[in-house]
Chains A and B, each alone.
Chain A
Amino acid sequence: MNLWQALVYFLREAAISLVRSWRVSLLAVLTIGVSLFVSGMLLLVSGNLSGILADWQARARIIVYLESDASEDQITTLRKTMAEAPGVVGVEYVDAKAAGENFRRSFPSLSDLVEGWKSEPLPPSLEVSLDPEMIDFAWVQGWTEEIRRRPFVEMVDDDQDWIKQVATAVALAQGIGIALGLVLLAAAMFTIASVIRLTAYLYHEEIAVMRIVGATEFFIRGPFYFEGFLQGLLGGLLATGSLFGVHYALKARYSASVWGGVFLEQAPSLGAQGFLIALGAVAGLLGAVFSLRREDLAAPTEDP
């Protein structure tokens, strides 16, 4: 029997077995489906959080407020120094008048507060844009401290501090998600392994007959490996379908809310879906291999 014939045979036998013992098969598929769904949901949420964080990082700026009496030379020198720093993609000078106009435009309800002031309400500033790929939080912190110490610098407003805190929280959530996903996946593999062992036990007489008529171990174990593979594959498909459905339903209902925007912005990508399905199939296969690794299936006695 060539490999193709063998694979067709394994697939057929595995499918028959899945249908015949559909209750235990369903249990295995549901277990792996739920595990992958939870893992996928965690991946989806952390992926969305990462996306939002990246967006914030891309838009994050360091605003250096200057004393009103800072000279043009001082401002030019500082602007040049900052522009040459690694990770800085642009430094824009905003004079006091433009800052005031920005304030009134951005906060029209507060514009009354500054009405009638003789001078502009906000000092001139240098707005520094950073390349999110190049950001090194520790370096940025040291750098802003150095700028803050300059005599004509009034204040430095740095978004990096809270972005760093959010990034730490996201990384922590991702770590917990991965750990939880691995635990759930291990539980699913254990379930599949148990189902395969149970199936092997149910068929042990049949397996003994196969051995006696001269079937090789490859031929005997192949259908069981395929069964685990199919269970995992079906679990992965179930998880992916559920993930997609739940995401769609929640987004339709909660997209207007802040949390809906945060957690449901992006649907699971094709890559993530493929990954979950493949993970299910591999977990199912490994579960089957694991369950039969020392299973002699009524094998002949050991070599002398």
Chain B
Amino acid sequence: MQARKILPPKNAVIQFFHVSKQYPGGQLALDDVSFELPRGDFVFLTGPSGAGKTTLLKLIFREEIPSQGQILVNGRNVASIPRTKIPFLRRTISVVFQDFRLIPRKTVFENVSFLPRILGADLSRQKRLAQEALDRVGLGHRMGAFPLQLSGGEQQRVSIARALINEPEILIADEPTGNLDPDLSEEILSIFHEINEQGTTLLIATHDRWLLERLGKRILTLRAGRLADDSQPLSTTEGETP
């Protein structure tokens, strides 16, 4: 079935309308969740473990489909996108994971340049794009290294470079600082801030209270699958650049 393009309200890039997700075992991961994410926004998604954060993110890039409700990404109903077209959706949404998800047997360059390569970029263009993306995260000098030769923070920065190489409209991250110490978390947060400044919409799932309070951004709070809160936090450092 051809996905029907619905014109989104001005600036809305992600829209959830009464979305519920129940897994085959009967577990209700999300329950009637609705929200909108304006273009260029920087939003945190928080909640205790098992609240449904990861499920919500997976629904955005069609790793899962909702049991009820609709999800629009750039006005397109994600659930109705034919299976063969899912890769094209995912090329507009980059994902950063807590466990980095790098390919150990490939070099940093090969990991980062994977998408340009499958899109047919020649080697020199792949190298230029990879260099630019890695320079943005301060790892332009580690192109030939393998992931396991890098520290945790460096690996996370490589995964962010991979996410940035295609200039995505949306970047979503699932606990991106979960495996990092506070200094490295600060570094990653700073990179996210810069990415957002350049116009990319960010949705970051975290339960790191320090991270939530640090930037003073909008926070969506999930509890037992329901959207319990959608608010700007009270913070002494609100609006401060990390």
Contact A213 B117 (CB under 8 A): no
* Other-chain residue from A2, A20, A213, A302 in contact with B114 (beta carbon distance below 8 A): A213
Stretch at the interface among B9-17, B43-51, B87-95: B87-95
| A219 at the binding interface (Cβ < 8 Å) | yes
Stretch at the interface among B58-66, B194-202, B212-220: B58-66
Contact A212 B103 (CB under 8 A): no
A219 to B61, CA, bound (A): 19
A301 to B102, CA, bound (A): 23
| A271 at the binding interface (Cβ < 8 Å) | no
Contact A214 B101 (CB under 8 A): no
Taking A300-B83, A301-B64, A304-B79 as contacts, is the C-beta distance between A211 and B90 under 8 angstroms? yes
Taking A205-B101, A303-B82, A304-B65 as contacts, is the C-beta distance between A216 and B119 under 8 angstroms? no
Contact A304 B80 (CB under 8 A): yes
- Chain A nearest CB, measured from B146 CB (Å): 14
Contact B90 A213 (CB under 8 A): yes
Contact A1 B114 (CB under 8 A): no
Question: Number of A residues contacting the other chain (C-beta, 8 Å)?
Answer: 24
Residue of chain B at shortest CB distance from A9: B117
Residues of A near B37 (CB, < 8 A) are none
Choose among A210, A213, A215, A216 the residue with the greatest number of B CB atoms under 10 Å from its CB.
A213
* Other-chain residue from B118, B162, B166 in contact with A215 (beta carbon distance below 8 A): B118
Choose among A16, A209, A216 the residue with the greatest number of B CB atoms under 10 Å from its CB.
A209
A10 to B161, CA, bound (A): 25
Residue of chain B at shortest CB distance from A17: B105
A229 to B59, CA, bound (A): 36
Residues of A near B94 (CB, < 8 A) are 213
Contact B118 A208 (CB under 8 A): no
* Other-chain residue from A20, A212, A215 in contact with B95 (beta carbon distance below 8 A): A212
- Chain B nearest CB, measured from A20 CB (Å): 7
Residues of B near A301 (CB, < 8 A) are 63-65
A273 to B118, CA, bound (A): 37
Taking A1-B119, A212-B101 as contacts, is the C-beta distance between A303 and B83 under 8 angstroms? yes
Taking A216-B84, A300-B63, A301-B64 as contacts, is the C-beta distance between A208 and B117 under 8 angstroms? no
Residues of A near B63 (CB, < 8 A) are 212, 300-301
* Other-chain residue from B82, B102, B105, B119 in contact with A20 (beta carbon distance below 8 A): B105
Residue of chain B at shortest CB distance from A2: B120
Interface residues of A in 197-223 (CB under 8 A from B): 205-206, 208-217, 219
- Chain A nearest CB, measured from B4 CB (Å): 14
Interface residues of A in 1-59 (CB under 8 A from B): 1-2, 5, 9, 16, 20
Contact B64 A215 (CB under 8 A): no
Interface residues of A in 214-271 (CB under 8 A from B): 214-217, 219
Contact B118 A214 (CB under 8 A): yes
Residues of A near B84 (CB, < 8 A) are 216-217
| B28 at the binding interface (Cβ < 8 Å) | no
A214 to B86, CA, bound (A): 7
A9 to B110, CA, bound (A): 12
Contact A214 B91 (CB under 8 A): yes
Residues of B near A20 (CB, < 8 A) are 105
Residues of B near A214 (CB, < 8 A) are 87-91, 115, 118, 166
Residues of A near B118 (CB, < 8 A) are 1, 214-216, 219
- Chain A nearest CB, measured from B212 CB (Å): 25
Taking A5-B120, A20-B105, A304-B80 as contacts, is the C-beta distance between A212 and B61 under 8 angstroms? yes
- Chain A nearest CB, measured from B29 CB (Å): 13
Residues of B near A9 (CB, < 8 A) are 117
Interface residues of B in 136-180 (CB under 8 A from A): 162, 166
Contact A216 B105 (CB under 8 A): no
Taking A1-B120, A9-B117, A300-B86 as contacts, is the C-beta distance between A209 and B91 under 8 angstroms? no
A2 to B86, CA, bound (A): 20
List 5 A-B pairs, minimum CB-CB distance, nearest first: A214-B91, A1-B120, A214-B90, A214-B87, A216-B87
Given A213-B90, A304-B65, 20 other A-B residues pairs in contact with their CB atoms under 8 A: A5-B120, A16-B105, A205-B101, A209-B102, A209-B103, A212-B61, A212-B101, A214-B88, A214-B90, A214-B115, A214-B118, A300-B62, A300-B63, A300-B83, A301-B63, A301-B65, A303-B1, A303-B65, A303-B82, A304-B80
Interface residues of chain A, those whose CB is within 8 Å of chain B, are 1-2, 5, 9, 16, 20, 205-206, 208-217, 219, 300-304
